[in-house]
Amino acid sequence: MTETADPNRPTDPAFDPGPAVASLETIVSLSKRRGFIFPSSEIYGGINAVWDYGPLGVELKNNVKRAWWRAMVQERDDIVGLDAGILMAPQVWVTSGHVASFSDPLVECESCHRRFRLDELPGAEGLSQTELRDPTIVERLGLRCPVDQGRLSEPRRFNLMFKTYMGPVEDDAALVYLRPETAQGIYVNFRNVRETSRKKIPFGIAQIGKAFRNEISPGNFVFRMREFEQMEMQYFVRPATAAAYFEEWRERRKAWYERYGVTPARLRFREHAPDELAHYAKKAVDVEYRFPFGWKELEGIHNRGDWDLGRHQEATGENLEYFDQATGERFVPWIVETSAGADRAAFTFLIDAYREEEVRGETRVVLGLHPELAPYKVAVLPLLKRQPAIVELCHRIRDDLKRDLMAVYDDTASIGRLYRRQDEIGTPYCVTVDVESLEDRAVTVRDRDTMRQVRVPVEGVRAYILDALAATHP
Ligand code: ATP
């Protein structure tokens, strides 16, 4: 079904390594069964396009966000963090162009009244932006409703921003938007951050946070949601250097996914055609992943020119130029943006880590997650849960471990089942306490990937696990 990773593969657009799992259903059901991701408001019948992260999912997603923050802020001298509000002055979205043009082409079936995103209809994939705006396109291509074959309307633009009202009066003067991207929070704070951090160009501002889009056709599990999280970084540079930084960042961002274990052959770049470019972009490339439903965007890298700061400067009359004390130059910085989805990244790691193996005639499901992303790092398991001394030793070991990392205790099945369960949720190490442990003060540490077991003295377990994890540190 799949090929092994080949980082040196030819950059042939027709190259297809196949997905890591044949059916998305495998991941959806694992997520539900093991507590990664649940449909939101499920006992009320659910709400479309919103998903809730369960006990394991929240750990995975937090670890993804931490890994991103580490690469984008912690390890960099030139990037600082920010956490701006979800609600912003409504004028921000007029200036940014979102009120006028953050829209998708929508068509409606005249008989069943279902609505579709034109560019996702069978027969309309790959249309250019100009064609998607052509009022005759539906008729010319003979497109019909995919559900009941009804006639479809002409495309119209549907704005994806959620609206709400701020304060006790619900009128137009109180209208605010739920941010559809985190980037604008960075632009409007550019001067505050630069002045307080005293960073010199080139420097970046990074932010992780919720974004909301009233997507016409959400779907494919957490791939496209109406409420999701973004991890965005805006890198402010001299205009003449933007093209070079764009190249640098696209390579660096692709390498980040590989560093955390995504099969290199299932990642590729796709450059946007000139008529596909967003209103702000000079150049854009997507990092794409081979999902079970095809090659799709994982992250966007954009050269935004001086569009953002230039527009905000013009709209507010505030000076957002950068002054270079060394050369005496003043200019509006250009921006190279890396824009990733935390949910889409977590989803990708989950899919790419999934594997099924034959072990002694049985199928073993393993989530080969990078240890840093794994929800739990260690499970402490008793061989005999009816022996109080064994259980007590388990708790002592777990208490010792949990000061440093996520460690769980589980005694709800036989040891074989407990191992399988931890394999299936990606726990890199299991520590098992048996009868002999009470005598020799040693326990068994089992490795998820090799299934190799080693005997480690009780007092040395913590150091053994921490060293093993440190060795996998990318
Ligand atoms: P698409 O073409 O898939 O609608 P986009 O080009 O509008 O995506 P961007 O605006 O570049 O996406 O957003 C940056 C990143 O945010 C995406 O690469 C993706 O990881 C994430 N993202 C965007 N929309 C959603 C969504 N509806 N659900 C989950 N993640 C999303």
Q: What is the pLDDT of residues 84-130, one digit of tens each?
A: 999 999 999 999 999 998 999 999 999 999 999 999 898 898 888 88
CB 183 near ligand 1, within 6 Å: no
Supply the residue whose CA is at minimum distance from atom 19 of ligand 1. Answer: 341
* CATH 3.90.25.10 correct for 376-471: no
Every domain of the chain and the residues it spans: 24-89+179-351, 103-159, 376-471
Give tens-digit pLDDT for 272-317. 988 888 777 889 999 999 999 999 999 999 999 999 999 999 999 9
CA of 341 to the centre of ligand 1 (A): 7
pLDDT tens profile 193-207 = 999 999 999 999 999
Summarize the confidence of residues 348-370 as an average pLDDT: 96
**Mean pLDDT of all residues in the chain?**
94
Residue 435 pLDDT > 70, yes or no? yes
pLDDT of residue 135: 93
* Averaged pLDDT for residues 374-378: 98
Does the C-beta of 257 come closer than 6 Å to ligand 1? no
Q: What per-residue confidence (pLDDT) applies to 3?
A: 38
Instruction: Please give the residue that has the higher pLDDT: either 123 or 227.
Output: 227
Asked whether 364 and 357 are in contact (CB, 8 A), the reply is yes
Distance from the first to the final alpha carbon of the chain:
28
CB of 224 closer than 6 angstroms to any ligand 1 atom: yes
Grouping H, G, I as helix, E, B as strand and the rest as coil, residue 47 is coil
Is 225 a pocket residue for ligand 1 (Cβ < 6 Å)?
Answer: yes
Instruction: Determine if ligand 1 sits within 6 Å of the CB of residue 184.
Output: no
Judge if the beta carbon of residue 300 lies within 6 A of ligand 1: yes
Residue 8: pLDDT band (50, 70, 90) is very low
Phi then psi for 339, rounded to 5 degrees?
A: -125, 110
Q: What angle do CA 136, 141, 144 make, to 5 degrees?
A: 100
Q: CA-CA distance, 76 to 185, in Å (whole number)?
A: 21
Q: Are 206 and 73 in contact (CB under 8 A)?
A: yes
Residues 6+ apart with CB under 8 A from 236: 190, 194, 201, 202, 203, 204, 205, 322, 333, 334, 335
* Alpha carbon separation from 293 to 5, 56, 219 (Å, rounded): 19, 24, 11
**Long-range pairs, 351-360, Cβ under 8 A, ≥24:** 351/19, 351/20, 351/21, 351/27, 351/291, 351/292, 352/20, 352/261, 352/262, 352/263, 352/266, 352/289, 353/20, 353/261, 353/426, 354/20, 354/21, 354/26, 354/27, 354/30, 355/20, 359/451
Question: Is residue 83 predicted with pLDDT exceeding 50?
Answer: yes
384-411 average pLDDT score: 97
Q: What is the pLDDT of residue 278?
A: 79
Percent of the chain residues topping a pLDDT of 90? 89
Smallest Cα–Cα separation from 372: which of 272, 224, 472? 472
Residue with CA closest to ligand 1 atom 20: 341
C-alpha 212 – ligand 1 centre gap (Å): 10
The predicted-structure confidence for 250-260, as pLDDT tens digits, reads as follows: 999 999 999 99
pLDDT for 12: 67
pLDDT above 70 coverage of the chain, percent:
97
CB distance 228 to ligand 1 below 6 Å: yes
Nearest-atom number in ligand 1 for the CA of 226 is 27
Lowest mean pLDDT among 5-9, 58-62, 169-173, 340-344: 5-9
Instruction: Using CA atoms of 162, 292, 277, 11 in order, give the dihedral in degrees to the nearest 10.
Output: 160
Class of domain 24-89+179-351: alpha beta
Higher pLDDT, 282 or 177: 177
In a mutational test of the pocket of ligand 1, which residue from 40, 101, 230 has the highest number of ligand atoms less than 8 Å from its CB? 230
Which of the two residues, 6 and 328, has the higher pLDDT score? Answer: 328
Q: Atom 13 of ligand 1 has which residue's CA nearest to it?
A: 339
pLDDT of 9: 52
- pLDDT at position 449 is 96
**What residues does 16 pair with on adjacent strands?**
none
Helix, coil or strand: residue 378: strand
Strands 429-433 vs 378-382: parallel, antiparallel or unpaired: parallel
Which ligand 1 atom is nearest residue 302's CA? Answer: 11
Q: What is the pLDDT of residue 179?
A: 98
Quick check: CB of 340 below 6 Å from ligand 1? yes
Checking if the pLDDT of 172 tops 50, the result is yes
- According to the model, what pLDDT value does residue 280 have? 79
Specify the residue with its C-alpha closest to ligand 1, atom 1: 297
The pLDDT of residue 10 is 47
Probe target for ligand 1 pocket from 228, 348, 349, with the most ligand atoms within 8 Å of CB: 228
Backbone dihedral region for residue 171 (phi beyond 0: left; psi -120 to 50: alpha; all else: beta):
beta
